[in-house]
Amino acid sequence: MRTSNRRAVLAGLGGLGASSLAGCVTQVGASGRASSGLIAPARPTFVVPPLAPLRMSADRITKITVCLRPFRAAGPRLDVETVGDKRVVHNYGHGGSGWSLSWGSSTIAAGKALEGGTKEVAVIGCGALGLTSALLLQRAGAKVTIYAKERTPQTRSFRATGTWSPDSRVADADKVAPGFPALWEEMARTSYATYQTLLGLPGEPVSWSDRYTLFDGADETRQHVEGPVRFAEYGDRLRDIVPSPHDLPAGSHPFPVGRVRHGISMQFNVTEMAHMLTSDFLAEGGKIVTMTFDTPADLARLKEPVVVNCTGYGARALWKDETITPVRGQITWLAPQPEVRYGLYYRHVSVLPRPDGIVVQQVGDSDMWGYGVTEERPDRAEAETAVATIAALYAKV
Ligand SMILES: Cc1cc2nc3c(=O)[nH]c(=O)nc-3n(C[C@H](O)[C@H](O)[C@H](O)COP(=O)(O)OP(=O)(O)OC[C@H]3O[C@@H](n4cnc5c(N)ncnc54)[C@H](O)[C@@H]3O)c2cc1C
């Protein structure tokens, strides 16, 4: 297979360096003089704070979880169709971006569901898309019932990493409709704005964290493998709202690698987020009913005239949507370290600290990692390899 170094790493996380994790102080900023003679604003000085070391060893693994990203080359499905006497609004197929795009995508789906003045809506699915759709519909005045085979913590959404990743495996750049990039931007901006209103809450459903991406010679980039898909990258469309990362000067950080990029990124404590959305929905009068649908014709069982279909990867079987391709991802959980408030990306392993555990994820050396893989059983060897990669880094600090 032909490969090319296409992207200089992810929305992500980095590694450690030169001196020690006890921290170091650095002037990163530089001031410039504008040609008019006015002093241009100095770039803010960034001081690398003391970084508590990650405690990486296989004996701290508490669980290993796996889920499948529901990838559609055309992007998430948001069209409307009629099935029997029901109007069905689709809201599925968000790849690795389901939490990040949820509020924006569900705002569009809820708007379509309420066209025509419907006041009673069924939502199928209780993951990120189902919960946000249900809440938005309810807050717009509809009476809403969620029908789902699984709810938290059994949903695939519950097994997500929990980082702002709105264009992660969301579409194939060569297969989307011409209007999709603008639609994506609308979803991402709505979600981003909504998540800003959920900061500072108990349990930290949303927070910001420092991220360090460590570039380590030959391993510094993920490879774009020429294959069936060219994953779309739309991050540049959000440059005005999402903070940009910057390289740290050599010697200004504690990591033993040549180059380190620092950024800040939004993250989600998925456990608390799912709990909060469920509690809010129920507290505001919503109902959740356990129900499995085998075919679209089963929707006839519902009393509501309008249905929002948020079945995620489940739509492949239920709706016979073979345009959904699974992209497997595995998370290795280590015991929580509340003192760690930063994430890392090093040698294709990402680490994110959450209140409910340290999330360690092998993301692979190519962007086709996990593509087409349906295996949802945990792979202990993969988990231990990821942990060992980060342990080796800390051994050098
Ligand atoms: C390892 C990994 C890490 C990820 N990390 C991130 C991240 O950091 N940030 C991010 O934004 N995204 C992330 N994602 C992507 C995100 O998890 C998905 O896009 C998202 O979970 C999809 O949500 P959903 O609500 O569409 O589907 P699901 O969570 O799968 O929910 C589907 C719901 O529909 C129900 N259902 C399905 N079929 C039927 C049926 N036939 N009858 C009745 N009910 C049915 C299910 O029971 C469930 O309630 C990650 C994915 C993986 C695999």
pLDDT > 70 fraction of the chain, expressed in percent and rounded = 86
Ligand 1: which atom is nearest the Cα of residue 66?
Answer: 1
Distance CA 125, CA 303 (A): 16
Any atom of ligand 1 within 6 Å of the Cβ of 350: no
**CATH classification of the domain holding 291:** 3.40.50.720
Cα of 70 to ligand 1 centre, how many Å? 7
Within a domain: residue 53?
yes
Total of domains in the chain: 1
Return phi, psi of residue 339, to 5°.
Answer: -75, -15
Model confidence band, residue 296 (pLDDT cutoffs 50, 70, 90): very high
Any atom of ligand 1 within 6 Å of the Cβ of 353: no
Distance CA 320, CA 312 (A): 12
Helix, strand, or coil here: 198?
coil
Look over the chain and give the mean of its residue pLDDT values, rounded to a whole number.
Answer: 89
Distance CA 124, CA 98 (A): 16
Within a domain: residue 323?
yes
The range of the structural domain enclosing residue 241 comes to 3-27+39-395
Q: Which residues lie closer than 8 Å to 288 by C-beta, 6 or more apart?
A: 126, 145, 146, 148, 151, 278, 281, 282
Q: What's the pTM value of the predicted model, to 2 decimals?
A: 0.91
Within a domain: residue 324?
yes
Query: Which of the residue ranges 25-29, 205-209, 347-351, 353-357 would you say has the lowest mean pLDDT?
Result: 25-29
Tokens of 308: 């929002």
Distance CA 352, CA 210 (A): 10
Kindly report, residue by residue over 33-71, the tens digit of the pLDDT. Answer: 333 445 555 555 677 888 999 999 999 999 999 999 999
Cα of 366 to ligand 1 centre, how many Å? 23
Within a domain: residue 242?
yes
**Pairing mode, strands 259-268 and 246-248:** antiparallel
> Among 10, 63, 64, 69, which residue has the most ligand 1 atoms within 8 Å of its CB, making it the best to mutate?
69
Within a domain: residue 340?
yes
Ligand 1: which atom is nearest the Cα of residue 67?
Answer: 53
Within a domain: residue 33?
no
Distance CA 180, CA 308 (A): 20
Distance CA 259, CA 276 (A): 39
Within a domain: residue 32?
no
| Cβ contact 309:93 at 8 Å | no
Kindly report, residue by residue over 110-146, the tens digit of the pLDDT. Answer: 999 999 999 999 999 999 999 999 999 999 999 999 9
Q: Mean per-residue pLDDT for 170-180?
A: 98
Cα of 238 to ligand 1 centre, how many Å? 24
